[in-house]
Copies of this chain bind each other. A is one copy, B any other.
Amino acid sequence: MSETDADTERLTRALRAQGIRITRQRAALLEIMARADDHPDAVELHRRASDELPGISLSTVYRTLAALEEHGVIQRHQFQGETARFEPADAEHHDHMIDVESGEVIEFHSERIEELQAALAREMGYEIVHHRLELYVRKRRDA
């Protein structure tokens, strides 16, 4: 059994325990999300799901994505001007660089930046609930 298969099965059990039914549609989407190493949007996920489950409706995809997000299984991102994209919610938080020329999304993480953010918020009397950091970038020509 592949690692993502094992992950998916564990997830399935956890979700069922939380009282959410794993239908064929949801199983398909869970599997697709587990495999996805890009950041697909609802329409793209619907396309992928249709391959193994012809007839699955776009509304089901939206409803499932909402449910999975609510249960912390996936994360929704709304990049500048784009439609919502999704990715599996891994343990470690990360931010995104978006290549404005290719649309490619690169993940990164900076503990130093996170610390500065937290310190800044605290100074101003707030605590961070969550944050969003997006760098819209272009490949360096002079590199």
Contacts and interface: CB of A to CB of B under 8 A. Distances in A.
A143 B125 CA distance: 7
Nearest to A106: B124
Interface in A66-115: 78, 80-81, 97, 99-100, 106, 108, 110, 112-113
State the copy count for this chain: 2
A131 interface: yes
A26 B120 CA distance: 37
B126 A138 contact: yes
Given A110-B120, A116-B116, A121-B97, A131 B133 contact: yes
A106 B121 CA distance: 10
A32 interface: no
- Which of A122, A137, A139, A140 is the most central at the interface, judged by chain B CB atoms within 10 Å of its CB? A137
Interface of A: 78, 80-81, 97, 99-100, 106, 108, 110, 112-113, 116-117, 120-122, 124-140, 143
